[in-house]
Structure 1
Amino acid sequence: MSTDTAIPTDRPSRRRGRKVRTRGQRVRRAIGWTLLAVVLVTGGTGWWLYDRLNSNLGNGIDLDKALGDDRPEKLPTSGQNLLILGSDTRSGENADLAGGDSSGLADTTMVVHIPEGRSKAVSVSIPRDTLVTRPECPAKDGSTLPAKERVMFNSLYPTGGPACVLKTVEHMSGVRIDHYIEVDFAGFASLVDAIGGVTVEVDQPIKDSKTGLDLSVGSHRLNGRESLAFVRTRHGVGDGSDLGRIGLQQQFMLALLAEVRKQDLLGSPTKAYKIANAATKSLTTDSAISSLTSLAEFGRSMQGVNPDTMETLMLPVEYDKLEPARVVAVEPRASALWKAIKEDGEIPESAKKSPASGG
């Protein structure tokens, strides 16, 4: 089995109401991964454990080689920008998991901005149903995909892989991506089982025949398979769109990171290794952080980030007039958001609000 994310540094939101609680999920996921690496490198688990975990990470993606020279400029004081992608390749192990099918999609995508000084972080979730302009980018079969308008965002990964996702995000945002982290859903389920489950609070009944999820109002302890159904469900939440599911994903990740934080990783090397082994098996990064050591160093550089000050946002979108099931970025809000991130500036309040919310 493989795994998803992390080691946490945070506790779940106490605010009532799913819509409020959703503003807090995925940026902690990146930090969780890197802090987990820090624990394992400094925890004295032994070279053979380190070597085994390190081999799980693979060689990584060379961003400069994959993206070429046509990239946004990296400003001197623009901090660090990560692209974090949850790949929903529902084949093999994933096909047996809740809601599985044969597609391979970028189910969860966010840009995480860590300002200069590393004391605060901002994450921007990009809805998978967003219609975007795809620049010319490499295809998975080695050919070249031509530039095209009104392409659904989650089609980029199955057709062009990580390089096309990265290229499109840089093109639409003008933000240069420094690091790439990808996790898969089979690994996600393995991580939840490795820590003994995750408790979530459900404010409204959720019943989804496609994933088999059936939750009443109240507190529920979810295992790996049930957790996967929880973050995949869309038909039993809000208006049935991806926007409502983003809310559940954000809520769940806060709860997951709170659970990982409770684990005595430093006091239990065996448990630390179990979690790390599951995590690194499902993790793909760019080549600059594709070793346990470099990942740990990156984690150390972010230890000054205070989770309580992290801000999580969704790209401002509205329902498309021609295809109401899809969404498009709202201007000038979207451009203002990306400009602030690119320049390491303050994000305007108007850019934090999305007309379409999935409620």
Structure 2
Amino acid sequence: MSAAAVLGWLVLAALAPGAAHLRAGWRKTGLILLGCYAAGLLALLAVRLSTDNLLGDLTQDSWLTGITAGAVVLGVAWFALIVHSFIVLRPGSLPQAGQVLVGTFAGLLAVVVVLPFGMVTSYVWTSRETLNNIFVNEGTPDPDPQAEQTTARPEDPWAGRTRVNILLIGGDADDNRIGVRTDSMNVATVDVKTGNTVLVSLPRNLENVRFRPGTPMAQHFPNGFRLPPDPGGGRSDLLNSVWEYADAHPEIFGGKQHQGPKVLMDTIGYTLGLKVDWYALVNMWGFARLIDAIGGVTLTVEQDVVFGRYNEGLVKAGTRKLKGADAMWYARSRTYSDDFTRMRRQRCVIGALLDQADPATVLTRFNRIAGATKELIRTDIPRPMLKHLVPLALQVKNAKVTSIQFVPPLISTVSPDWAKIRAITDKAIRDSAGGRPTAATASPESTPKSTKSPSAKKKESDPTKTLTEGCGSL
């Protein structure tokens, strides 16, 4: 057998275990190896066909442990296979130069075939560590008392919910600060069947916030969240201070510590007329590291955005790929701007990430993304719920995503119309669930007559937008 033939059979053996053994006359061994290989492929196919929620299952500890063990065993087995295939092909009968060539190639091939299994082991281990660091390992979803329990089935993972409501918070937690200042607050309300989503944004400077009747905060602030002005004239009783205030005053809750997340979830849910199921707090500068991990995000900056204590920073206007820091300053800066413009820019960044974080990018940059994510997210979502939330998140990516921003002139942040906020939220959700174009009237109050067409009036009175509406135009 020539050196070229030996090389060819070694490559074939790496792809079809047992091929080299059959060529070398080890018929029984070759057939056993090929049979085991075929059985393994059929078993993988059977698992895929019998599992409706493969990606969800892959978030579970038992699956991750099994995949890790399997990858290690298969990696060792494939290495041994190449070595033994090399031996049975009797390279000793080749000239010395051929032996050196074939031996070197066999060694490299043995290492190469192990690499995919090593990558799988690394990815799975990283995934497991990341999930354990971020998500609560115990707990199951609480049934929604407002849900139609007659439709709930014992196997229903949503416990009768028709929608899942998750509070997405952009915060700037600091080691030197008690509590968290929540500068960006959005509720993603997701239809569990279709994935259609409404992203509801509340401004950080919402005043006179009301708390759900009967709660400790409502008893402490019966007329709304109101504190004396700060010495500098600022206010510490806006919506973005609720978490921080609750954490700093455990006496309100009978001495219970760390009530900030629960209080903010309940407060925002009461404001919108929803039951917020879970929250996810995103550290804003951790978010910048995530953007860097995926290689940046392409955005259209409509006009120059100035930032920095001395206005020394600048994100120039134009369409280009921004690094994490620039993307965050684009989303966060209020210099020569206001909170409401900033809320729109934050929505644009979220929309761009949803569009651009494709599976190929996530796979090729997996370890960097996982590392950034560990520093990025704090949440109370139970680990077992990931099995169901992962496929739902994939549905959202391809479903209809609309947004509402409760900013002036739609509402007054100083004296909000709470009934109007709930009515608009309810209508947007109902329209999203029905698959119809969303349209929510801003107010029943009379308005001056206009010569504009009815369609133009409807557009002006409609606060519901697609996620990227208003983004990307210079």
SS for the counterpart of 2:358 is: helix
Shift of 1:155: 1.0
Indicate if the aligned counterparts of 1:317 and 1:330 stay in contact, CA closer than 8 A: no
Indicate if the aligned counterparts of 2:294 and 2:361 stay in contact, CA closer than 8 A: no
2:181 is the counterpart of 1:105: yes
CA RMSD after TM alignment: 3.9
The percentage of aligned residue pairs carrying the same residue is 22
**Partner of residue 50, structure 1:** 127
Structure 1 residues 48-87: aligned runs within 5 Å? 48-59=125-136, 73-76=146-149, 78-87=162-171
**Partner of residue 149, structure 1:** 224
SS for the counterpart of 2:146 is: coil
| Distance in 2 (alpha carbons) for counterparts of 1:342 and 1:310 | 11
**Partner of residue 191, structure 2:** 115
Shift of 1:273: 2.4
Indicate if the aligned counterparts of 2:164 and 2:277 stay in contact, CA closer than 8 A: yes
**Partner of residue 182, structure 1:** 281
Indicate if the aligned counterparts of 2:202 and 2:405 stay in contact, CA closer than 8 A: yes
Change (3 A) 1:146 1:52: same
**Partner of residue 230, structure 1:** 330
2:423 is the counterpart of 1:336: yes
Equivalent residue pairs, number: 292
**Partner of residue 6, structure 1:** none
Which deviations, in whole Å up to 9, do the C-alpha atoms of 1:240-273 show, x marking residues without a partner? 321110111111222233342274334x3xx212
Matched to 1:277, the amino acid is G
| Distance in 2 (alpha carbons) for counterparts of 1:78 and 1:329 | 28
SS for the counterpart of 1:86 is: strand
2:263 is the counterpart of 1:164: yes
| Distance in 2 (alpha carbons) for counterparts of 1:197 and 1:298 | 26
| Distance in 1 (alpha carbons) for counterparts of 2:189 and 2:362 | 27
Structure (1/2) with the larger strand percentage: 1
Shift of 1:174: 2.3
Change (3 A) 1:330 1:307: farther
Indicate if the aligned counterparts of 2:273 and 2:422 stay in contact, CA closer than 8 A: no
| 119-128 or 335-344, larger mean C-alpha shift | 335-344
Matched to 1:184, the amino acid is N
Structure 1 residues 178-257: aligned runs within 5 Å? 178-210=277-309, 212-236=312-336, 240-257=337-354
Structure 1 residues 204-353: aligned runs within 5 Å? 204-210=303-309, 212-236=312-336, 240-261=337-358, 263-266=360-363, 268=364, 271-288=365-382, 291=383, 294-305=385-396, 307=398, 309-315=400-406, 317-318=408-409, 326-330=413-417, 333-340=420-427, 348-351=439-442, 353=462
Shift of 1:40: 7.0
Indicate if the aligned counterparts of 1:199 and 1:221 stay in contact, CA closer than 8 A: yes
SS for the counterpart of 1:73 is: coil
| 130-139 or 191-200, larger mean C-alpha shift | 130-139
Tell me, which stretches of 5 or more residues in structure 2 are unaligned?
Answer: 1-53, 68-119, 150-160, 226-236, 247-259, 443-460, 464-474
**Partner of residue 5, structure 2:** none
Indicate if the aligned counterparts of 2:198 and 2:402 stay in contact, CA closer than 8 A: yes
| Distance in 2 (alpha carbons) for counterparts of 1:156 and 1:64 | 25
| Distance in 1 (alpha carbons) for counterparts of 2:145 and 2:416 | 20
Matched to 2:129, the amino acid is R
Which deviations, in whole Å up to 9, do the C-alpha atoms of 1:136-183 show, x marking residues without a partner? 6568xxxx9544415411111211221111121122222111222221
Which deviations, in whole Å up to 9, do the C-alpha atoms of 1:276-297 show, x marking residues without a partner? 2311332222243xx2x63243
Shift of 1:337: 2.0
Change (3 A) 1:196 1:212: farther
Tell me, which stretches of 5 or more residues in structure 1 are unaligned?
Answer: 1-34, 96-100, 355-359
Indicate if the aligned counterparts of 1:129 and 1:154 stay in contact, CA closer than 8 A: yes
Change (3 A) 1:188 1:147: farther
| TM, length-normalised to structure 1 | 0.67
SS for the counterpart of 1:303 is: helix
Higher relative contact order (CA 8 A, sep 6+): 1
| Distance in 1 (alpha carbons) for counterparts of 2:285 and 2:141 | 29
2:233 is the counterpart of 1:134: no
SS for the counterpart of 1:166 is: helix
Shift of 1:328: 4.2
| Distance in 1 (alpha carbons) for counterparts of 2:129 and 2:294 | 20
Shift of 1:342: 7.1
Change (3 A) 1:314 1:63: farther
| Distance in 1 (alpha carbons) for counterparts of 2:316 and 2:215 | 45
Matched to 1:49, the amino acid is T
Which deviations, in whole Å up to 9, do the C-alpha atoms of 1:279-323 show, x marking residues without a partner? 1332222243xx2x63243111343335452111113654988xx
Structure (1/2) with the larger helix percentage: 2
Bigger Rg, structure 1 or 2: 2
Which deviations, in whole Å up to 9, do the C-alpha atoms of 1:7-46 show, x marking residues without a partner? xxxxxxxxxxxxxxxxxxxxxxxxxxxx998887799643
Matched to 2:285, the amino acid is A
Which deviations, in whole Å up to 9, do the C-alpha atoms of 1:62-106 show, x marking residues without a partner? 7999xxx9x9734456422111111122x25xx9xxxxx998311
**Partner of residue 24, structure 1:** none
| Distance in 2 (alpha carbons) for counterparts of 1:86 and 1:56 | 19
